[in-house]
Copies of this chain bind each other. A is one copy, B any other.
Amino acid sequence: MTFKYNQVFVEDAATIAGPYEAMGPLKKYFDQTFDNLYHGEKSWETAEAKILEDSIRTLLKKTKKKKEDIDVIISGDLMNQITSSCYSSEKFNFPFLGIYSACATSVEGMILGSSLIDGGKVNRAIASTSSHNMSSEKQFRNPTEYGAPKPKTATFTATGGASILLTNENTGIKVESSTIGKIIDYEQNDPFNMGAVMAPAAADTIHRHLMDLNRTLDYYDLILTGDLGTYGKEILIDFMKTEYGLDISRNYNDCGTMLYDLEKQKEVQAGGSGPVCSALVNYSVVLELLKKKKIKKVLLVATGALFSPTFVYQHENILSIAHAISLEVIK
């Protein structure tokens, strides 16, 4: 399902990044970084909620908005049951809509916020997401064996919080169109190869987006997938070529391969993942490139593996989804 927007804009965004992310190449673009995964809290779970809360607080400060200026927050994260989103949003007394598309959550939030604004229902919406390396490892891969090696296709859940403010006031950066993803079952079942799980979903959404809007790949200055990682990125490039005859390699990159220095930070293996991974990249350096008009048209394709440990134990496949949204500089 693809549709365009008439009157929705990005006001600004805020990114709070963890210690591993601060060691990567994007450090200077983040609003804040922190050194300790506990972030002053007693548990990883409350730390994640605090980090997300910090990103919302920073966004309000940057945009000089009061709590009452925000009509709705749309937020989701990996923690059962989007707990980080609930506990952080409660602090602000915002009307709240909880969402979940795994690591595609950030773009789902932008689509829903933009739709509410464009339909005249609200004036301003925040879309938020977070993830935390330790709360994710504990929840999804417990018991995490000490020193157990992971395969090279494994990705590394990013730690951070990211929030974006969407508005009906013209800021020069327009939310132009979006494509809601379909759930894809490509018969993958390796939780250490999420790139392979998600690449077919990214391909399906990018292809439908282009077909629905009658566009070619070169319409965009940049197409960014969420967190496929190095192997998933290669799979997507191959898949687009063989399945649709499209060469996306020219103007394409993957946020999971951009967040860390893959040469030096060997612990991240194939790259970053988690819902905040693509949001940390998109809401920092990508937004900066748009503000400076170094790129004018970008397609953000957040990719999510709809991963349930219970279903994997029961030998079910891991499903995936990708949502896309395009941003354009208009003045």
Contacts and interface: CB of A to CB of B under 8 A. Distances in A.
Interface of A: 1, 3, 42-43, 45-46, 71-72, 76, 78-83, 86-87, 89-90, 93-102, 108, 111-112, 115-116, 118-122, 139, 180-185, 306-311, 314, 316, 319, 321
Contact of A182 (B87, B94, B98): B94
Contacts of A122: 1, 3
Given A99-B98, A183-B96, A83 B120 contact: no
Contact of A183 (B46, B86, B306, B319): B86
Contacts of A310: 45, 79-80, 83, 139
Residue from A43, A97, A120 having most chain B Cβ neighbours under 10 A:
A97
Contacts of A309: 80
Nearest to A315: B42
Contacts of A180: 72, 95-97
Contacts of A76: 98, 100
22 contacts: A1-B95, A1-B122, A3-B122, A45-B308, A45-B310, A76-B100, A79-B308, A80-B81, A81-B81, A81-B100, A81-B102, A83-B306, A83-B310, A86-B306, A90-B185, A95-B181, A96-B183, A97-B101, A97-B108, A98-B100, A98-B306, A119-B120
A3 B80 contact: no
Given A81-B100, A96-B181, A115-B115, 8 more contacts: A1-B71, A76-B100, A93-B182, A96-B321, A98-B99, A98-B100, A99-B100, A100-B100
Contacts of A99: 97-100
Instruction: Report how many copies the assembly holds.
Output: 2
B87 A316 contact: yes
Given A96-B182, A182-B95, A183-B86, A43 B314 contact: yes
Contacts of A94: 182-183
